[in-house]
Amino acid sequence: MHVGAQVRDWKFFELRELAKIYEERGLSPDLAAIVALQLSSRGEEETIRAHIRDDIGIDEDEPPRPLRAAWVSFVSFSLGSVGPIVAAGLTPPGWFAFTTVTVVTLVLLFLFGSLSAQMGGSPVLKSAVRLTVGGLVSLMGTFGVGRVFSLVFGMQGEGGAAGGE
C-alpha cells in the first residue's frame, strides 16, 4: 500500500473514532461527523488535541496535580499492603507463611489489576495479567536480593523463609 493511502486511511479512522465519541455523548451521527470534521480541519495539532481531550480524557489546560497523585499512590499502596500483612500475621513463620503471603499478594494484584482496567476502560484480562506478572517478578527479585544478602552477611531469620528452614 502506498504511504499516501495509509495516511488517508489513518485520518479517516481517526475522524470516524472522534465522531463516534461525540455520538456517544448524544450528538446525532451527522452532527458528530460535522463536529469531528471541523475540529480536524484546524490542522494536525488541533486534531491531536481534540483526540487527547475527547478520546483519552486528558485536558492539557488542567495543570498536573503531583500532590494528589502522591496521595492516591500512598493510599493505594497502604490499602494494598493490608492483605499480605494480615496473611503474614495469621500464618506460622516459615515457608508456609512465605507461600501464603505470595499467593495472597498475587491474587490481590490480579483483582486490583482487573478493577483498575475496568475503571480505566482497558482490556481487563491483559491488564490484570500484566500487573500480576510484574508483581511476581518484583517479588522474586526482592526475595532473591534478600536471600543473597542473608547468605553474604550470614544472617539467619527467626524461622522465616530466608532463614533456611
pLDDT in tens, 96-145: 999 999 999 999 999 999 998 888 778 899 999 999 999 999 999 999 99
Residues 6+ apart with CB under 8 A from 116: 122, 127, 131
Kindly state whether residue 127 falls inside one of the protein's structural domains.
yes
pLDDT digits (tens, 9 = 90+) for 72-81: 889 888 998 9
Q: Give dist(CA 161, CA 95) in Å, integer.
A: 5
Residues 14 and 51 in one domain: yes
Which residue range is the domain that position 30 belongs to? 3-56
C-alpha cell at 59: 485536558
| 3-state secondary structure string across 85-123 | HHHHHHCCCCHHHHHHHHHHHHHHHHHHHHHHHHHHCCC
Which residue carries 500484566 as its cell?
A: 130
With cut-offs at 50, 70 and 90, classify the pLDDT of residue 158.
Answer: low
Q: Which has more confidence, 82 or 72?
A: 82
Total domains present in the chain: 2
DSSP state of 56: I
Residues 156 and 80 in one domain: yes
Kindly state whether residue 61 falls inside one of the protein's structural domains.
no
Q: Give dist(CA 130, CA 63) in Å, integer.
A: 30
Residues 38 and 101 in one domain: no
Residues 101 and 139 in one domain: yes
